[in-house]
Amino acid sequence: MSVEQRMAGKLVLVTGSGTGIGREVALEFAREGATVALHYAHSVEGAATAVGEIQRAGGKAEAFRADLSQIADARRLAAEAVAFLGGLDVLVNNAGITMNRAFEKVTPEQFDTLYHVNVRGQFFLTQAVLPAMLRRGGGAIVSMTSIHAFEGYTEHSVYAGTKGAIVAYTRALAIELAPRGIRVNAIAPGAVPVESHFRAAPGMSLEAVGKAIPVGFAGEPRDIARVAVFLASDDARYIVGQTLVVDGGTTSWMPFGDGFRRPMDAQFGRGYVPGL
Q: For the segment 94-106, what is each residue's pLDDT rounded down to a tens digit?
A: 999 999 999 999 9
- Of 40, 159, 238, 272, the active-site residue reads 159
CB of 167 closer than 8 Å to CB of 186: yes
Residue 271: is its pLDDT beyond 70?
yes
40-55 pLDDT, tens per residue? 999 899 999 999 999 9
Domains of the chain and any CATH numbers: 11-261 (3.40.50.720)
Assess whether 238 carries a catalytic annotation: no
Q: In angstroms, rounded to a whole number, what is the distance separating the alpha carbons of residues 10 and 5?
A: 10
Distances (CA, A) of 173 to 14, 132, 142, 170, 246: 19, 17, 12, 5, 21
% of residues, the chain, pLDDT over 90: 80
For 40, the enclosing helix (H) or strand (E) is strand 35-40
Q: Quote the pLDDT of residue 1.
A: 42
Mean pLDDT of the chain: 93
Q: Phi and psi of 18, rounded to 5°?
A: -90, -10
Among 135-139, 153-157, 238-242, 252-256, which stretch is predicted with the lowest mean pLDDT?
A: 252-256
pLDDT digits (tens, 9 = 90+) for 143-156: 999 999 999 999 99
In the sheet with 11-14, reading across from the earlier edge strand, the strands are: 61-65, 35-40, 11-14, 90-93, 139-144, 182-189, 243-246
What is the pLDDT, as a whole number, of residue 3?
A: 59
3-state SS, residue 176: helix
According to DSSP, residue 65 is labeled E
**Residue 2: its pLDDT value, please?**
44
- Inform me whether the pLDDT recorded for 197 exceeds 70: no
pLDDT of residue 272: 82
Do 38 and 50 touch, CB atoms closer than 8 A? yes
